[in-house]
């Protein structure tokens, strides 16, 4: 009996050490998982984060959820071309996000990753074989401080995995789309200026063709 107790006492530190190590490893693993999960939870997250939460299946129509919005509806359509400006570019994934009708990136509350910063008004689509796309959403408002025109941010991902931001969509009838604004653009995919017209049902429609020269 004495020998048995002695054996247990000798083994106890090893057992405790082993248990402590397992707990530590578990904590470390959880920390790693948490870090991986939060990598895109940053307003300046890498562009690839824009394509992390998209649906597995996409078509050429982006339908941004507008159930909570009161602004006019907006449809923008167009074709994405290769560098020659003539050849349609199929299978381009287009990501877009914008402010709500009051100029804020309002959230639904279930956003994850970079969409926590981009807000609820975001979506994806993929160009068809003719390079065609459509965005169905609302006409976004300017920021409350009127620091820049109303706009739609957009990024693309090619069939080879290349990703880049293109020039924001802005609206020709916005008086902040002036010479100063236009001179500041990088013109990736064009100026982004969309000439929109009001339809008979008081909604808006416009066209933007995009040439990817990069």
| pLDDT of the residue at 198 | 95
Residues 117 and 52 reside in one and the same domain: yes
Mention every residue, 6+ apart, whose C-beta is less than 8 A from residue 204.
72, 73, 74, 75, 139, 196, 197, 198
| pLDDT of the residue at 16 | 45
| pLDDT of the residue at 17 | 47
Residues 33 and 89 reside in one and the same domain: no
The structure tokens 């339908």 sit at 63
Residues 107 and 10 reside in one and the same domain: no
Residues 113 and 156 reside in one and the same domain: yes
CB 141 within 8 A of CB 150: yes
CA distance 44 to 25: 31
Residues 100 and 11 reside in one and the same domain: no
pTM, entire model? 0.81
- Residue 76, exposed/middle/buried by CB under 10 A (0-12, 13-18, 19+)? buried
Is 170 within a domain? yes
Residues 104 and 10 reside in one and the same domain: no
Mention every residue, 6+ apart, whose C-beta is less than 8 A from residue 87.
81
Residues 94 and 145 reside in one and the same domain: yes
Q: Pull the structure tokens for residue 77.
A: 């359509």
| pLDDT of the residue at 9 | 47
Question: 118: which DSSP letter?
Answer: H
User: In terms of residue numbers, what domain contains 197?
Assistant: 47-211
CATH number at residue 116: 2.60.130.10
Q: Taking the chain (214 residues) in consecutive chunks of 10 residues, what is each chunk's mean pLDDT?
A: 49 49 55 59 94 96 89 96 97 98 93 94 98 98 97 97 98 97 95 96 96 90
CA distance 138 to 91: 25
Nearest CA-CA partner of 49 in 38, 37, 40? 40
Residues 18 and 54 reside in one and the same domain: no
Residues 19 and 66 reside in one and the same domain: no
CA distance 187 to 210: 10
| pLDDT of the residue at 44 | 92
CA distance 26 to 30: 6
Domains in the chain, number: 2
Q: Calculate the CA dihedral of residues 115, 67, 128, 211 and round it to 10 degrees.
A: -60
- Residue 163, exposed/middle/buried by CB under 10 A (0-12, 13-18, 19+)? middle
Is 42 within a domain? no
């Amino acid at each position: 009996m004495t020998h048995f107790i002695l054996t247990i006492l000798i083994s106890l530190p090893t057992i405790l050490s082993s248990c402590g190590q397992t707990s530590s490893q578990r904590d470390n693993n959880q920390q790693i998982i948490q870090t991986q999960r939060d990598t895109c939870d940053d307003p300046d997250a890498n562009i690839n984060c824009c394509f992390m939460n998209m649906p597995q299946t996409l078509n050429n129509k982006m339908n941004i959820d507008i159930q909570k919005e009161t602004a006019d509806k907006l449809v923008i359509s167009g074709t994405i071309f290769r560098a020659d400006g003539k050849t349609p570019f199929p299978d381009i994934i287009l990501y877009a996000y914008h402010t709500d009708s009051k100029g804020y990136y309002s959230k639904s509350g279930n956003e994850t990753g970079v969409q926590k910063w981009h807000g609820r008004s975001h979506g994806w689509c993929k160009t068809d074989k003719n390079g065609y796309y459509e965005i169905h959403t609302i006409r976004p408002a300017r920021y409350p401080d009127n620091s820049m025109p109303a706009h739609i941010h957009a990024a693309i991902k090619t069939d080879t995995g290349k990703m880049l931001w293109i020039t924001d969509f802005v609206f020709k009838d916005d008086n902040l789309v002036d010479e100063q604004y236009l001179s500041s653009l990088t013109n990736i995919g064009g100026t982004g200026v969309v000439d929109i017209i009001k339809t008979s049902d008081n909604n808006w429609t416009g066209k933007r063709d995009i040439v990817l020269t990069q």
